[in-house]
Amino acid sequence: MADQHDQPLDRYREKRDFARTGEPTGDVPTEKKEKKMRDGSEHPVFVVQKHDASRLHYDFRLEIAGVLKSWAIPKGPTMDPDEKRLAVPVEDHPLDYAGFEGVIPQGEYGGGTVMIWDRGTFRNLRSGKDGEGVSLEESYKQGKIEVELRGRKLRGGFVLVRVELGGDSEENWLLMKMHDDAADANRHPTQNENRSVESGRTMEEIVRAEK
Ligand code: MN
86-143: pLDDT as tens digits: 999 999 999 999 999 999 999 999 999 999 999 999 999 999 877 789 999 999 999 9
From start to end of 94-131, where are the E strands? Answer: 102-104, 112-124
88/70 Cα distance (integer angstroms)? 8
Q: Chain-wide mean pLDDT for the chain?
A: 92
> Residue 27 has what pLDDT?
83
The model's confidence at residue 5, banded by pLDDT at 50, 70 and 90, is very low
Task: Say how many Å lie between the CA of residue 132 and the centre of ligand 1.
Answer: 35
Q: What angle do CA 120, 121, 123 make, to 5 degrees?
A: 145
The model's confidence at residue 1, banded by pLDDT at 50, 70 and 90, is very low
More confident residue, 40 or 108: 108
Task: Say how many Å lie between the CA of residue 61 and the centre of ligand 1.
Answer: 10
Task: Say how many Å lie between the CA of residue 145 and the centre of ligand 1.
Answer: 21
Task: Say how many Å lie between the CA of residue 32 and the centre of ligand 1.
Answer: 25
Task: Say how many Å lie between the CA of residue 18 and the centre of ligand 1.
Answer: 17
> Residue 29 has what pLDDT?
67
Task: Say how many Å lie between the CA of residue 103 and the centre of ligand 1.
Answer: 12
Q: What is the SS3 assignment for 198?
A: coil
145/138 Cα distance (integer angstroms)? 9
More confident residue, 155 or 168: 155
Task: Say how many Å lie between the CA of residue 106 and the centre of ligand 1.
Answer: 13
147/194 Cα distance (integer angstroms)? 24
Q: What is the SS3 assignment for 125?
A: coil
Task: Say how many Å lie between the CA of residue 10 and the centre of ligand 1.
Answer: 17
The model's confidence at residue 169, banded by pLDDT at 50, 70 and 90, is low
pLDDT, average across residues 58-84? 97
Task: Say how many Å lie between the CA of residue 26 and the centre of ligand 1.
Answer: 16
Task: Say how many Å lie between the CA of residue 114 and the centre of ligand 1.
Answer: 8
pTM of the shown model: 0.92
More confident residue, 39 or 137: 137
